[in-house]
Amino acid sequence: MKKIIANTEIEVNEEGYLTDFNQWNKAIGESLAQEHGIDMTDRHWEVIDYIHDKYQNEEPLSIRGIKKSGVLDIKEFYSLFPGGPLKKATLIAGIPKPKSCI
C-alpha cells in the first residue's frame, strides 16, 4: 500500500514497514519516528546505523543480538525506543520487521 511521508510516496505493508529499503532516507526515518512519538537524537541514529549495517550484511536482528553488540545495553534500547524497541527501531530504519518480533 502507498503512503506519503516526508513528501515522498513510499510502499509499506499492513504494519507500516517499508517494502523497499531503497525508498528509505533519513527524512523518512525522522518522519516515521515522529509518528511513533520518538524525537531522534544522535544516539538514536547510531542505533539505526548499527541496524542498517546488520541488515546489509544479512545478519538477523534480535534483542539478544543487540544486547551482545556492545553498541548499547537493553535498558538504553528500551528507553530510546519505548514499547517494542526492536519493532520501532527497524520500522524507523526502513527494514523488514525481524522474524524474532511477534
11 is a catalytic site residue: no
6, 40, 63, 101: the catalytic one is 101
Instruction: Tell the burial category of 91 from Cβ atoms under 10 Å away from its Cβ (0-12, 13-18, 19+).
Output: buried
CA distance to 41, 65, 70, 88, per residue, from 34 (Å): 12, 26, 27, 11
Residues marked as catalytic:
101
